[in-house]
Copies of this chain bind each other. A is one copy, B any other.
């Protein structure tokens, strides 16, 4: 298939391009390279060294034969996006081109506004461009499990049958996001759903759990980034970085918050299943993409245990919670759709964590040089 990856320079996008090329798909991509600047703005770097995009693309061509047809492009640049899609004629568009950070969006008004405009306007631009230039292509858009929040109900995959005052309907499951960033993802989901109803586009909307894992190659030009700063590092990735530099792990609040998680390798498997099993014309389907539900404290314990195998003494220090979130709550999300398509979780989480620590140890100095960027400074209430 011809797969156009928006966000091809990112943590998931760069990995996915390789994963799909290895399976024989033809890859096109776009990226505005903003993530590199955001992490720099946070005073940080990727723990795993990455090379400039032109070197990445050279390596891609050498390893996979077919080049990655790449454009430096912001999805909000609607005219340029239209040209790109008209020329590439994708069978699948994978949309990973969003600013993915809750703390970044909570810093102040300019950051909140930027994240929302970037994400929501970019997605809207993409939907119109697909309508006009590749209406039969299948959109695989990355959402987040964070769109649902933590209701006191089980979380279905996007929609639920509900009875109210004796009447029944199938309705979108109510979203209760917890940051301006997470709201931008909710809005994107509504937009994609609406475009499918309106224009007959086909889409899979992936409500993804928190992803962890490294992607390193003997040719380091193929490495994907791994962030650990407070804004762009996700929980388990940050904990592993803290473990290798001897900094205490920092669960927020009581650490009893439950979330869905999956490894980068499992994310690649799931996205590939969605890509290779397209939605029907006019269909908007939602996949909850996660492997397991764990607490933040569970993650900390996993990292502590894995650290011991490497002789690392890992401390755990609860932090005042900078976020506004429930710490004791029900959490039982459905995730049957991907299992039904054949998702078979690969390595268990403790093995992935050991692999991550092994990948990160050679780069401990890089992380240690930015050790102060791991502590939370952005606060939800007073930012």
- A contacts, CB < 8 Å to B: 78, 108-110, 112-113, 116-117, 120-121, 124-125, 128, 151-154, 160, 162-165, 167-169, 171-177, 180, 183, 186-187, 190-191, 194, 197-199, 324, 330, 380-381
CB distance from A125 to the nearest CB of B (A): 6
Q: Check if B124 sits within 8 Å of A113, measured CB to CB.
A: yes
Q: Copies per complex?
A: 2
Measured in the bound complex, the distance between the Cα atoms of B288 and A209 in whole Å is 35
Q: Which 5 A-B pairs have the closest CB atoms?
A: A152-B169, A109-B128, A171-B174, A153-B164, A172-B174
Complex CA distance for A69 and B151, rounded to whole angstroms: 44
Q: In angstroms, how far is the closest chain B Cβ from the Cβ of A129?
A: 8
Q: Is B153 in contact with A169, judged by CB distance below 8 angstroms?
A: yes
* A-B pairs with beta carbons under 8 Å apart, 17 shown: A109-B124, A109-B125, A109-B128, A112-B124, A116-B124, A117-B117, A151-B169, A152-B167, A152-B169, A153-B168, A153-B171, A173-B174, A177-B190, A183-B190, A186-B190, A197-B324, A199-B381
A151 and B171 alpha carbons, distance in the complex (Å): 8
CB distance from A311 to the nearest CB of B (A): 43
Known: A152-B167, A153-B164, A194-B177. A121 touches B117 (CB 8 A): yes
Q: Report the minimal beta-carbon distance from A207 to chain B, rounded to whole angstroms.
A: 16
Known: A152-B167, A172-B175, A183-B191. 13 other contacts (CB 8 A): A78-B113, A109-B128, A113-B124, A120-B120, A120-B187, A153-B164, A154-B167, A160-B164, A163-B163, A175-B190, A177-B190, A183-B190, A198-B380
